[in-house]
Amino acid sequence: MKKQKIGRNEQCPCGSGKKYKFCHGCHLEERQGSQSRNAVDNKSEVLEKQRLKQQGFGRPIHSVLENGRRVVRVGSTTYHSNTWKTFGDFLFDYIKIVFGSEWGNEELRESYDERHPILQWYELVCKQQQAHAGLPNEIYTMPMTGAAAAYNWLSYNLYLIAHNAKLQETLVARLKEPKQFLGAYYETFVAAAMIKAGFELEFENEADPTNSHCEFTATYPETGVKFSVEAKARGAGKVHADVGKQLGNALRKKAKYKRIVFIDVNIPDKLDEQQVIPYVPELMAGLRRMESSLKIKGVPAPAAYVLVTNYPFHYSLREKDFRWSVVGEGFKISGFKADKQYTGIREALNDEKEHYEIYKLVDSMRDHYQIPSTFDGQIPEFAFNKNDVRLIVGQKYSIPVDGKGFSGVLTDAVVDELGKKVTGIYRLDDGRSIIATCPISDLELQAYQRYPETFFGVYKETTQKQKDPVQLFHWLMDCYGKTDRAKLLEFMKDHPDYNQLIYKSQAELAFLYCERIAHSGISMSSKK
């Protein structure tokens, strides 16, 4: 099958010799008109889901294209350029805007080894761009080396802070100061992580040196719960994973609310076949020991959510075999332990509810690990590649059947990843439905693996392997949470406690049904 959209002024594939719009196409005008509003709404929904997956839960990127110039609004300030084809293009320039050309040019006059780290990264990124750039104004890709990751992530972090809160002059000044750079650099990661998770930030007054306080207060709008957030980064050159010093210093800070302490271990970590994070066992053992031994001014240290990260980009400036990681641990918080074992789903759900905001934060950090390349949430592989025709549910395509050309609307499709092909169901103009297959390119397959739910332009639930009973429970609740009470009772008619179930509400029945199915599913999988 050839993937080719049929234009209204093209010859109809039925062989009549008429233009498509005067032949089979005209019969669909009325039907398409009635469906247009739904199509627009669906497209908006799909785009929003993709945007959230790319950008997280902070303020969306505000940008428009006007007369060939890209306009981007950051907070209350507007910037524009005719060279920003991608969001990455904007970020490459935004960091220059934040720090100022005068400071950057002054640093560039120094030798490479004497320059500020930001300008070292900048030079390496520029060399990468020169090596991979194509024709003028042509969009190209290049490997995400450590230098590119460090430079672009800093720019993205600064953008997120400025767009969602306020970029403090004191933070920019500390970033310019080499001795303070590492700590300030890490603070941008912490603030950006909270923003992408949907938290609202309120920074403390950095101009007051007499007051020892955390970096900022973070509020989760959904629940209204506030947290005092502190960030500590270890110096470079360490081979162990002891974070006792950083944790102690963080817990000495005054805090108005529940504490979240971020600590970056700052050690090299390259990808391996086992995907094992080597420092985690030592890290966990150290934190557990400190729970009983750490004291602040002679008093047992307060409880805190501890999120230990590792952003090792600067160890692989010219390579791309690095990985970043995050490990969550409850310091003196029994319900938030990295290795806690549960006897049942309900116990796990109770802990999840108790520490809801932190679960959401960790999930976001694991999900939003890439910098957006589009401004509006489009799938990059399709946004920047106009040569291939994309399969979209609801659109019309030409389909050769028995040597004859037919036109049909794609109504559903599935991807065979191993076979690298798409099988689609098409409704022909005469009302018949046929099944046809076509190959899928490596680029399309890459896009599908990242966006399986929206790959075909509509939101489509995908069957994904659930990693634990809680994940399976949540997936089941998405499916059955609003199921009619009578239907749920029908599903559970063979349960031994059916006579008691008939007195339960719809919400209680849905919970019990999903809980039991999750338990059963996990039990069956464990016996295989």
For residue 278, pLDDT beyond 70: yes
Q: How confident is the model at residue 30, as a pLDDT?
A: 42
pLDDT, one tens digit per residue, over 235-246 is: 988 888 899 999
Q: Where are the beta strands (DSSP E) in 374-420?
A: 396-401, 404-416
Distance (Å, whole) CA 280 – CA 214: 26
pLDDT, one tens digit per residue, over 41-96 is: 677 888 999 999 999 999 999 999 888 899 999 999 999 999 999 999 999 999 99
pLDDT, one tens digit per residue, over 138-158 is: 777 778 899 999 999 999 999
Structure tokens given for 132: 């991979």
Q: How confident is the model at residue 31, as a pLDDT?
A: 41
CA distances from 69 to 48, 80, 124 (A): 23, 6, 28
20-53+388-450 classified as CATH 3.10.20? no
Q: What pairs with residue 254 in β-bridges?
A: 213
Q: Report residue 7's pLDDT band, with 50, 70 and 90 as the boundaries.
A: low
What b/e string do you get for 54-70 counting C-beta neighbours within 10 Å, with b at 16 or more?
Answer: bbbbbeebebeeeeeeb
For residue 209, pLDDT beyond 70: no
Q: Which of 48-52, 360-364, 463-467 has the lowest mean pLDDT?
A: 463-467
Q: How confident is the model at residue 154, as a pLDDT?
A: 97
Global pTM reads: 0.84
Q: Report residue 6's pLDDT band, with 50, 70 and 90 as the boundaries.
A: very low
H/E element, 124: helix 117-132
The share of the chain scoring above pLDDT 90, in percent, equals 58
Q: Which of 95-104, 340-349, 495-504 has the lowest mean pLDDT?
A: 340-349
For residue 344, pLDDT beyond 70: yes
Structure tokens given for 320: 């791309």
Q: How confident is the model at residue 114, as a pLDDT?
A: 94
Q: How confident is the model at residue 180, as a pLDDT?
A: 95
Q: What are phi and psi for residue 308, nearest 5 degrees?
A: -95, 125
Residue range 301-328: mean pLDDT, rounded: 92
Q: Is 143 helix (H, G, I), strand (E, B) or coil?
A: coil
Distance (Å, whole) CA 97 – CA 95: 5
Q: How confident is the model at residue 217, as a pLDDT?
A: 95
Q: What is the dihedral of CA 472, 475, 481, 485, to 10 degrees?
A: -60
Residue listed under structure tokens 């019309």: 396
Distance (Å, whole) CA 478 – CA 480: 6
Query: Which position has the higher pLDDT, 159 or 433?
Result: 159
Residue count of the chain, please give it: 528
Q: What share of the chain is helix, strand, coil (3-state, %, to 5)?
A: 45, 20, 40
Report the 10 Å Cβ neighbour count for 115.
Answer: 19
The whole-chain average pLDDT of the chain stands at 86
Q: How confident is the model at residue 27, as a pLDDT?
A: 44
For residue 526, pLDDT beyond 70: no
What b/e string do you get for 432-468 counting C-beta neighbours within 10 Å, with b at 16 or more?
Answer: eeeebeeebeeebbebbebbbebbbbbeeeeeeebee
Q: How confident is the model at residue 22, as a pLDDT?
A: 56
Q: How confident is the model at residue 29, as a pLDDT?
A: 44
Structure tokens given for 293: 């031994």
H/E element, 66: strand 62-66
Angle (CA) 24-29-32 rounded to 5° is: 115
For residue 346, pLDDT beyond 70: yes
For residue 299, pLDDT beyond 50: yes
Distance (Å, whole) CA 230 – CA 228: 7
SS3 for 219-270, per residue? EECCCCEEEEEEEEECCCCCCCCCCHHHHHHHHCCECCCEEEEEEECCCCCE
Q: Which of 198-207, 383-392, 406-415, 463-472 has the lowest mean pLDDT?
A: 463-472
Residue range 22-44: mean pLDDT, rounded: 53
Q: What pairs with residue 264 in β-bridges?
A: 233, 309
Q: Report residue 383's pLDDT band, with 50, 70 and 90 as the boundaries.
A: confident
Give the domain ranges of the chain: 20-53+388-450, 70-367, 469-527
Residue range 294-305: mean pLDDT, rounded: 94
Asked if 115 and 107 touch (Cβ cutoff 8 Å), the reply is: yes
Distance (Å, whole) CA 330 – CA 282: 16
pLDDT, one tens digit per residue, over 129-142 is: 888 777 666 777 77
Contacts 24+ apart (CB under 8 A), 11-18: 12/407, 13/398, 13/405, 13/406, 13/407, 14/405, 14/406, 14/407, 14/429, 15/404, 15/405
Query: Which position has the higher pLDDT, 426 or 36?
Result: 426
Q: How confident is the model at residue 381, as a pLDDT?
A: 84
Q: Is the dihedral of CA 204, 206, 210, 212 positive or negative?
A: positive
Q: Report residue 525's pLDDT band, with 50, 70 and 90 as the boundaries.
A: very low
The share of the chain scoring above pLDDT 70, in percent, equals 86
Sheet of strand 404-416: strand arrangement: 396-401, 404-416, 421-428, 433-439
Asked if 216 and 256 touch (Cβ cutoff 8 Å), the reply is: no
Burial class for 78, CB neighbours closer than 10 Å (0-12, 13-18, 19+): exposed
Distance (Å, whole) CA 496 – CA 500: 9
Residue range 262-268: mean pLDDT, rounded: 94
